[in-house]
Structure 1
């Protein structure tokens, strides 16, 4: 059984195991990124350049703004009664929201586009972009929209002379627009076949296209692009692009804004939109007057013939009977009858209006209603009900143009329309019944007066009857003419209640691209991309990079760090004694005075997790640094499976430890001088078939005992403990054990192997060593920081400066 040192708590193994806080973690993170500062700087420069090119070659977008004053609706007399009655028939509407909806409606956008003729857009190619032309275009394309058309793609015109041009397709992303189904476009999958040359004014036609091109001011050699767009698509686009907002919650002023790359186009569109908006309002007002005139004309068409007939009959009777005037008694009776007949005529007109309303409501017609006040009905409640119904129906028409019938807002407004119709129907029925009662009373009064007529002579009675009929028709005719004149005057005097405050104007500076913001975004993206890549690389990296991270993972102290050996020499301690690598071994040798105090003879063991982590390099140079000190040192190669020492010392691995353990050869017979003073070497020897069993013999224990008596320092170069089992049995022979990790090579999980050796394997006096330190992962670490936590290479002559790349030297100066 091999000797084992007593197990001790790893936290108390060394004064180097201190409980360090994370107060410098931020510095570690910052300096971890700063080591890549040239790459980050290059990406930031590329980001700024890309943003500059984007600003340079992106078409600028300008904001066009205008404003409209929306007049507040004054409630009609009686409307407040229904609003406060709780019946829900005339719920108050936000006038501002309604006007916003009208301004952003599809129908208004469609009318504006048709008025401006925006279905064809013209472009001129620049170096990297194309500029839209508007206003004075070099050619004029007229499209026949009565048949299917290709839309969305791009045509190219090359002017040959003032009579002909060459037509080609610049972009074949066409769709087919059909006038029979305006809101659906089918994909064009065929191949467009065009002639090479066309004449100006000639109709260019084929399957799914028909247009002609007229020359305006283009010159020979000019190239113009044009695109055909259907009105529904343009209307939807402009409707979405247009923003309509009130200037504040209290004001009734609306601001219209549109962002467009063509300032004049935006101004013309917004101005025309406002004109169409005001014209729509005026048309609605005029429509009421026009309906009134139409209603009166229908009444006049019937009364005119009656008036002409009665007039001729009266004239004929007077001529034949030579009777021209009534007697005094007949005149009095006629005057009384005339007054009653006039009142009866007006009552009949009123009753006819009520019956027209009843028919309208019974048939659910959508035509414009004639206001009662137009024909002399002064009932305020009836007037307010008719006005409210007209407004609700107009709102319903607007909503249906933009939404489906199942949309909640459409259904809610439809319910209001039905409530208003029911209220109006009840009121009209009651008014019609009252009017019929009045008319019956008038007929009774007329009948009573007619009895007095019988007392007159026959001739006078006949004259009175004919004159009475004429007077009735004349009064009705005059009354209707008066109302028609009033309606026409009202129509002529109609003005939109809303008005334009400011016509559209464009800002001097474009709103897009935002040059300063884009440059800032380019700079930030250029910085984020490499930082993100570095962060992802570090996060996904499974190799040990950061000494600080390794130190946190280990349950034992990380006692030393060995810098990268930039030379091909495996023994820099002997051949380059002033290098930083040599200084790191000297620092580790000095630390051993604290790890194993008051010991004249010292046995060191070096192992690692896997092959290639540099345990042989570290063990050779540690043996060398003790030899330089004058200590009699021997280096023993115990890696019987994959020996490396012989090659580094330029020896032949013909005999060694495997020779001693497998035969009667004494260890003294296999000792070889290293060629350096105070340093001997026992090679591993020929590779045996059973290396683990050889090292488990008692003979090996006796050899180690004799070596400790003969040499001041014994150094074991052992096989990787993560790959073979015999190394675990060798820890008991050493005073101090070193577990070697290699930066950028060892896996992070290897630290757990060492922790398991301490916690479960009972191994004590074991410490971590980080080899090949060359990547600076934080403040205070890095190649050249040879004193463990050292203070780097300097110019004070302690050891030679390692020549680093210029950017690393610059970075170190910043540190």
Structure 2
């Protein structure tokens, strides 16, 4: 008994309805892919080869790294009070994040590129690709960036001799850079034409929208150098995006700067320059307060110098004319006391001027030019801390605005801090102005009291005290200002950036890209995935029946057998090639018949299919032949009256047949024709009638079949496709066993429903499936070996004569 073959004893219980369960057999799925092993292996080889070639000729990318120490700002005296007050005036800020933003800012990158002069890039041609050169340049291109220039495309320089070269355009993807609008470039749509092809080193090469000079450095005749021009804003955007800045860990205040570049020295120079510009900017910001103080003091000195000079001349003239050089003891005491008060008054007035300047600064809302109060002698710690905090917040606002819009949360938060600090600073300045005014008024009152005592002195001494007093006032103020100016200059000279470079830029010795091992692995994986994906998609989109196991699961009746592909041109291999495996498959099918209808000596077998071309005529003829070989008297009846084919295979003329018997009074014995085999006859379909369906439905047809069964042991019906015509359904009643023929790679999967409907709705019993033309092995054991049945191998074990295919076709299952 074969699998899925019904037991005759259970025929009363509708044995033809076979319950199928959908399941995934991983082993079968694996075999389905392994049948394409040569294709998969070829793709894997190509993938690895492509990865190897890519690794061989890809440009090496190196990682350049450096580190910089960021010192957290320590709060000044009084600043911590505002940070902890809960008023939101001076909230703590993320210093690390701000410094990262500065290092990655566009303005910093632009300044670094300008100082490095990276606007011209040079390349050398290789066998497969070009590589950028940075050191030991053979030529130097000087560009006039004050006029429009063509950027983006490449020029080609071929050195002729020490004095001349040939210039051509290598890449025409040019854009026009306009220095009047440097951040917006327009596409150069017309083709670039040079005035001539040969130029002289050191002389200007000029044309529409370009002007540069190529100077000879160390090039030799025959050298070929490529170069292109890139404007500073574009380079700044490029390097800004490529520069990576991040803290080495969450707790540290050390920033790591890294850049991946094919030119190691260029990457090192750029990162070093970025750090240099970064520290220079920081120092410049720190020096700004000292510079503003010196400027303020110089303004005061310019006014006091003239007053000091005038009072000095006046004092000297009075002493000369009146021959008075020294004051009396009483006059000296009064003068010293008055001199001290005037000194205090002068210092208070200077402070008052500073407060007024600071107030005007806050009212005008200027930025970047505030000076520290301590540098002009103001010792109020709260005022000093507020001024320092306000300056830092303004500097931070400038940095943030260079990288973010005004709607950014960080910018808005910092603006709020500036407003809060400014409000507190204005209140403090107003209070200081009021206090200073009161102090000056008090000092003036004390001076007026001393002036009363002066009036009691002799006129000559009284006048001398007045003149000497004015000179002393100007002298004290002048000395005081000079002292503060010196202190401000010393502070400026001693200023150092609070941040510092830990490690200067250093490129790694090994490239970080291409990742050769990973690329080879990716190539191998892609070589594996692509064919498997293609096979999977092909199978998913395939609407044809290729898998016997899948067909078994789709139909509700047993799949009795499979018929292999007939590789010969002979339509009757059972008679003409009895040792072929195809013949053996029909012998296997004949053996199954004994289990399907064991009690019948006379057997009527019907063959049909869903559509034409599935091989039902081929199967019918060869089944008839295999019964004839065992000595059975067999007759093959062609009932496909619309499209007869049997005559062609036997070399007969379809001049008379079943249509002749049914449409005339011709006896069926007169239309029987010999096939050339003594035990097998054939009744052809005959001439095509106008009403084939009605002919087969006549009672006369049933009488003819009844008579034929009395003469022949086996009667074979070759019926028309049941999916195309209606009369086949009436013919099932005349058959003992019916077969529905499918063809591998030809029959549509959905056609299996036609067979299911015959069983479920049409009431057809004793019908089975046959898969014809099996030539694709999906690993289910339906091989091309013995019997084409449910065997386990693909070898004939020497029992059959097989037509051997080439090895590559066998490997690809073609």
Map of 1:173-252 to 2, 5 A cutoff? 173-194=173-194, 195-252=196-253
CA distance in structure 2 between the aligned counterparts of 1:419 and 1:559, rounded to whole angstroms: 93
Aligned match of 2:594:
593
Aligned match of 1:551:
552
Answering whether residue 112 of structure 2 is matched by residue 112 of structure 1, we say: yes
Answering whether residue 85 of structure 2 is matched by residue 81 of structure 1, we say: no
Shift of 1:17: 4.0
8 Å CA contact retained: 1:785, 1:791? no
Moved more, 325-334 or 352-361: 325-334
Map of 1:16-415 to 2, 5 A cutoff? 17=18, 19=20, 22=23, 25-194=25-194, 195-415=196-416
CA change 1:578–1:163 in 2 (3 A) is same
Shift of 1:217: 0.8
Q: Unpaired runs of 5+ in structure 2?
A: 1-8
Shift of 1:16: 10
CA distance in structure 2 between the aligned counterparts of 1:262 and 1:362, rounded to whole angstroms: 52
CA distance in structure 1 between the aligned counterparts of 2:167 and 2:674, rounded to whole angstroms: 93
CA distance in structure 2 between the aligned counterparts of 1:285 and 1:175, rounded to whole angstroms: 41
Aligned match of 1:735:
736
Moved more, 756-765 or 264-273: 756-765
Map of 1:421-432 to 2, 5 A cutoff? 421-432=422-433
Map of 1:507-546 to 2, 5 A cutoff? 507-546=508-547
Shift of 1:21: 6.2
Shift of 1:631: 2.1
Shift of 1:807: 4.5
8 Å CA contact retained: 1:16, 1:559? no
CA distance in structure 2 between the aligned counterparts of 1:467 and 1:276, rounded to whole angstroms: 53
Aligned Cα root-mean-square deviation (Å): 1.9
CA change 1:135–1:20 in 2 (3 A) is same
Moved more, 681-690 or 424-433: 681-690
Aligned match of 2:571:
570
Q: Could you report, residue by residue, the CA deviation over 1:645-680 in whole angstroms, capped at 9, with x for unpaired residues? A: 111112222222122212222222222222224222
Q: TM-score with structure 2 length normalisation?
A: 0.96
CA distance in structure 1 between the aligned counterparts of 2:630 and 2:20, rounded to whole angstroms: 33
CA distance in structure 1 between the aligned counterparts of 2:745 and 2:180, rounded to whole angstroms: 71
Q: Could you report, residue by residue, the CA deviation over 1:400-458 in whole angstroms, capped at 9, with x for unpaired residues? A: 22233344433332232222212211111111111111111111111112211111111
Q: Unpaired runs of 5+ in structure 1?
A: 1-7
Aligned match of 1:486:
487
CA distance in structure 1 between the aligned counterparts of 2:318 and 2:92, rounded to whole angstroms: 62
CA distance in structure 2 between the aligned counterparts of 1:321 and 1:198, rounded to whole angstroms: 87
Q: Could you report, residue by residue, the CA deviation over 1:267-292 in whole angstroms, capped at 9, with x for unpaired residues? A: 01011111111111111111221111
Map of 1:619-630 to 2, 5 A cutoff? 619-630=620-631
SS in structure 2 opposite 1:184?
coil
Aligned match of 1:3:
none
8 Å CA contact retained: 1:14, 1:595? no
Shift of 1:811: 8.5
Moved more, 285-294 or 737-746: 285-294
CA distance in structure 1 between the aligned counterparts of 2:595 and 2:76, rounded to whole angstroms: 103
Map of 1:660-739 to 2, 5 A cutoff? 660-739=661-740
Shift of 1:235: 0.6
SS in structure 1 opposite 2:182?
strand
Q: TM-score with structure 1 length normalisation?
A: 0.96
Moved more, 379-388 or 227-236: 379-388
Moved more, 716-725 or 772-781: 772-781
Shift of 1:684: 1.4
CA distance in structure 2 between the aligned counterparts of 1:792 and 1:632, rounded to whole angstroms: 34
Q: Could you report, residue by residue, the CA deviation over 1:758-787 in whole angstroms, capped at 9, with x for unpaired residues? A: 222121111111100001133323444644
SS in structure 1 opposite 2:478?
helix
CA distance in structure 1 between the aligned counterparts of 2:281 and 2:686, rounded to whole angstroms: 106
8 Å CA contact retained: 2:784, 2:795? no
SS in structure 2 opposite 1:283?
helix
Aligned match of 2:6:
none
CA distance in structure 1 between the aligned counterparts of 2:182 and 2:418, rounded to whole angstroms: 30
Shift of 1:13: 4.7
CA distance in structure 2 between the aligned counterparts of 1:617 and 1:534, rounded to whole angstroms: 31
Aligned match of 1:434:
435
Shift of 1:181: 1.0
Shift of 1:18: 6.3
Map of 1:755-770 to 2, 5 A cutoff? 755-770=756-771
CA distance in structure 2 between the aligned counterparts of 1:607 and 1:627, rounded to whole angstroms: 21
CA distance in structure 1 between the aligned counterparts of 2:597 and 2:207, rounded to whole angstroms: 99
Q: Could you report, residue by residue, the CA deviation over 1:124-151 in whole angstroms, capped at 9, with x for unpaired residues? A: 1112211111122111111111111111
Shift of 1:543: 1.3
CA distance in structure 1 between the aligned counterparts of 2:11 and 2:406, rounded to whole angstroms: 79
Q: Could you report, residue by residue, the CA deviation over 1:95-121 in whole angstroms, capped at 9, with x for unpaired residues? A: 111111111111111111111100111
CA distance in structure 2 between the aligned counterparts of 1:296 and 1:42, rounded to whole angstroms: 85
Aligned match of 1:659:
660
CA change 1:9–1:355 in 2 (3 A) is farther
SS in structure 1 opposite 2:707?
helix
Shift of 1:728: 0.7
Shift of 1:576: 2.1
CA change 1:136–1:39 in 2 (3 A) is same
CA distance in structure 1 between the aligned counterparts of 2:786 and 2:103, rounded to whole angstroms: 73
SS in structure 1 opposite 2:434?
helix
8 Å CA contact retained: 1:579, 1:799? yes
CA distance in structure 2 between the aligned counterparts of 1:781 and 1:705, rounded to whole angstroms: 38
8 Å CA contact retained: 1:585, 1:621? yes
8 Å CA contact retained: 2:21, 2:553? no
Aligned match of 1:5:
none
CA distance in structure 2 between the aligned counterparts of 1:782 and 1:232, rounded to whole angstroms: 70
